[in-house]
Every structure is written in structure tokens, then in C-alpha cells.
Amino acid sequence: MVEKGSLLRIHCYPIRFPRCYQVQWKSRVIANEEHYLVLDKPDGVPVSYTVDNRLENCLRCTAQAIGREEDLYITHRLDQPTSGVLIMGKTKEFVAFFNKLLSNRAKCLEKRYRVLTKRPLPLGNHEAYIYPVEHIGRNPQRYEISAMQVPNSKYCDLKVISSSQITLGSKPDGKGWDNWVEGEKAFESTVILGTGRTHQIRAMAKFLGSPVFGDTLQDANNPEVVHDRIALQAYELRINTNIDDENETFFLGSKDCSNAMEKFFGGKKEVVFRAKEPWWRQPSCDSEAKNAA
């Protein structure tokens, strides 16, 4: 029953995410604890719901896989085409606690990513400024990077800690993979993002001369092809639970901090969550989808 004067919005052509029906969700659970769940997020599925689709997302699909009646709670995000470690809350108490960790990520959290590019990313620290550019249709927002600060830009800090050569396997399905040649060499780099979100890694890779494989969103010459999968994985998340008195001030007090760490992480000095091998190292780039079929 819709009351008189209410606004009823009907989406005749909602954005769909069929990838969620190809995923073996239970097999992707890294940790399933009382207050939180850690997922090896699949590419092609958004973390949370969109304005026109509340069903096809990680919060809903993972909850259904573990037999939970209500959706899991969001604590942080990964881009839709990005895969890897994703922590979701089971209780609002944990979500509030994790948000405090995020607000002090330099002391409490370290995220490491795997990035696959045509050429190696130069090792070391890289600083720049990211800013949004034109928004095309229903595609996600594009970003550019500048070495100097410009209006509406945000500081970006990326550290490349290693880069190794690998051999490309079979070409992924779909359009826009012309630069992927089976048997040719590519470079897998491990990076730490000191600021912001994963789209900064994508923009920074382009800025450093080698865009992430599959990331046509950063290609102004090919904006109409937007992949559900790119070669970017959040492969490791480290949580520092051994916080000293000086750094405990972001909680209500040292006692509250210690109690929270004990409650959620069992008093461990460090908690580490790792994703499985990235999709580009699999025998077939689309093996999960083919197995589900």
C-alpha cells in the first residue's frame, strides 16, 4: 500500500550484476566470527546495494550463503571490479569499532594490493593529487592524477614495494582486453595505499605509465567499455591490535581500546587476513564462472 502523496520510484532498467550467481560464496569466506566476517570478494559484484538494485551485492549474497536472515553491515569498500579482502560487520558495535580503526589507518591498518600491469611500476613512494573528471552516462566516475595540487584534488600516497615478472595466461572473456596477449610477459606489483580508496591505485598506475590490466575506465579513448573485472586485488589486510597508550586516545580511553581488541580479536598482537591467488594466476581466468555453469 502506497500512501497518498508518497513518491514511488520504479527502475525499469536496473543495473544488474550477474556475476553474483557465478560465485561460490561459502568457499570465499576467509573468517566467520561472532562480530564480523571476512570475505575474499569476487570481482564484478558491488560491496553494497545501488539505488536500483538492493539484491545483487556482497552484503546480501554472503549473508544468504551463511544462513543469516539480515544483510551484513558495510565497514569499508572495494571497487566493483576489484577483488580481495573485505571485512563486513555482523554487529553495529563492531562496525563502529572498525570505523575508528579506519580513521587512524596509519597506526592501525595496513592494506596491501596486487596490481598487474604491462610494464613494471617503479619502486618507492609516489605522491600526487587525484581529481574527478567528466562523468559519462551510467559509468563509474573517472579520475585523473596531477603532480601538482589543483582545484578539487586530494592528496594521494602510493608505495610500490615489489614488482615481479609473470607470464599471461588465457585472455579474459569480453571486449577491451586487446593488450592482453597469452604467453607474453607482464608485471605483478605489490603496493600499499597510504591514503584514500582503490580508485586511487588505478589512477596512479596510469599516472606512472602503466594502467591496470582491464581498467578501461581510466582510458579516455575507450570510455564505453567498462569491465566488471580488473587486475587489482586487495590481497592482505593487517590490523595492529598492539596499540600503545599514546595511540589509544582515538578510542574513549585505553581501557576501552584494550577491551575492544580483546573482544573482537582475542588479544592477538596482530591480525592478518589474506585473499587466495588472484584470478590472473588461475589456470583459466574465468574458471569460477565456468565451474558455476
Per-residue pLDDT of the chain (293 residues), as tens digits, is: 778 888 888 888 888 999 999 999 999 999 999 999 999 999 999 999 998 999 999 999 999 999 999 999 999 999 999 999 999 999 999 999 999 888 877 778 899 999 999 999 999 999 999 888 876 666 667 788 888 998 888 888 999 999 999 999 999 988 778 889 999 999 999 999 887 666 789 989 999 999 999 987 665 555 555 678 999 999 999 998 776 545 554 554 556 677 888 889 887 778 999 999 999 998 766 656 555 55
Residue 32, pLDDT score: 97
Q: What is the DSSP letter of 153?
A: -
Rg (CA), the chain: 20
**Beta strand extents in 95-153 (DSSP E only):** 109-117, 124-132, 143-146
Residue 75, pLDDT score: 96
| 254-265 and 92-103 helices, crossing angle to 10° | 120
> Do 31 and 89 contact (CB within 8 A), yes or no?
no
Residue 252, pLDDT score: 46
Residue 79 burial (10 A CB sphere; 0-12, 13-18, 19+): buried
pTM of this prediction? 0.88
Find all residues with CB under 8 Å of 210, minimum gap 6, and list them: 117, 118, 119, 120, 121, 187
Residue 254, pLDDT score: 54
Residue 175, Ramachandran bin (φ over 0: left; ψ between -120 and 50: alpha; else beta): beta
Residue 272: name the closest of 72, 31, 10 by CA: 31
Which grid cell is 154? 586530494
